[in-house]
Amino acid sequence: MPLIKLRKFIEKFYLAFTRILPPEFAKNLTLFFLKIIYQFNLLNLFSYSNSINLPKIELAGIKFKNKIGIAGGLDKNAEFFHIFGHLGFGFVEVGTVTLEPQKGNPKPRLFRFVRDKTLVNTLGFNNSGAVKILKNIKKFKPEFNGVLGVSIGKSKNTKLKNAWKDYLHLMDYFFLEADYLAINISSPNTKNLRELSSNENVDFLLKKISEKKTQLYNLHKKKTPIFLKISPDESDINLKNIIQVAEKNNLDGFICTNTSVNHGYKVSGGMSGSLLSNKSLIIQQKVSELKSDKSILIASGGIMSKDDVEDRFLHSADLVQLYTGYIYYGNTLLKEALKVSSS
């Protein structure tokens, strides 16, 4: 059997196998296997990094080897980003990181709806905390040939009025090591987090973040662009305000979108995957109309096929992030996405 066919067969078989396992366990097992394959130097068998001639691009001062990345939350603790880079991804957003380690919400907290090709998660920022994650980044960065984003969020126990302090403190930790920072105020699984995007709160928070960005730039003479991750459940009025306030405060772009709490499943949490696709694209289109040309637009949410990737680029996305689509379709989707992004 030729190598490509064998590779496809193994991937298909493995993806089918993981669907009979509990979803969170399947995800962790897959990451574990990837690490083993990488350590035994066999990752090249599954890698697409050299198979397609991809034009390099520069956005917000960062050079990307290609336009396809991994969305926040797949590599929560920055233990696998270098491996995703070798698989062919141009950028990886690690985290969301909080200041202190957090266990997240009780299990089960990840639900799979195979027929709809969706997931619902209520993880709640389970992560090893800033100190450990910074260590991991320093350890694996020399093996990484891509762009590293670090997503930051407030701790579960931090009161809303003090949330800005968490974000500023996290900027201190990651400003130097990250190629960009993603501000997560759109996850539905940390109580009250989304209130940070309301009119009363977002101006204050983004002003503080902007001041800190200038301060850190003056100190280190390094530019670290800051992107804001947007909820797909945002109202039109709020969306308009968020974009205005973010641009007024010199943020560098938007990630559209996080997961949605508006779904019909009998479990609570944020839905991702196929049924998010339309909603996410609509928000992306609105943001694209509201934002100025200089802001970067990163598409995330229900990108499950090469048509979805094409659509996102057609509607002004500069970059595309995969998550649930990659869980369902693996490297086949990555390969198709890379092809579309290069045409």
Ligand X SMILES: Cc1cc2nc3c(=O)[nH]c(=O)nc-3n(C[C@H](O)[C@H](O)[C@H](O)COP(=O)(O)O)c2cc1C
Binding site for ligand X (CB under 6 A): 71-73, 76, 95-96, 110, 119, 121, 123, 125, 151, 184, 187, 229, 258-259, 272-273, 276, 300-303, 322-325
Q: Which is nearer to ligand X, 49 or 300 (CB)?
A: 300
What is the three-state SS of 136-203? Answer: HHHHHHHHCCCEEEEEECCCCCCCHHHHHHHHHHHHHHHCCCCCEEEEECCCCCCCCHHHHHCHHHHH
Pick from 253, 255, 104, 112: which is nearest to 186 by CA?
255
Q: Is 153 in contact with 125 (CB distance < 8 Å)? A: yes
- Smaller CB separation from ligand X, 67 or 229: 229
Least CB distance from residue 76 to ligand X, whole Å? 6
CB of 123 or CB of 181, closer to ligand X: 123
| 189-214: b (≥16 Cβ within 10 Å) or e | bbeebbebbeeebbbebbebbbebbe
Find the shortest distance in angstroms from Cβ 120 to ligand X.
8
Query: Least Å distance between CB 160 and ligand X?
Result: 18
* Separation of alpha carbons 88 and 78, rounded Å: 17
Q: Residue 120 pairs with which residues in a beta bridge?
A: 111, 271
Instruction: Rank residues 62 and 120 by Cβ distance to ligand X and give the closer one.
Output: 120
Q: 186, 187, 274, 341: which one is catalytic?
A: 187
What is the sign of the dihedral through the CA atoms of 231, 282, 198 and 251? positive
Q: Provide the minimum distance between the beta carbon of 55 and ligand X in the complex, in angstroms, as a whole number.
A: 24
Cβ neighbour number for residue 290 with a 10 Å cutoff: 17
- Smallest distance from ligand X to CB 56, Å: 24
Which single residue brings its beta carbon nearest to ligand X? 73
- Is 341 labeled as catalytic in the residue annotation? no
Question: Which lies closer to ligand X via its Cβ, residue 216 or residue 281?
Answer: 281
Mind telling me the catalytic residues?
Answer: 187
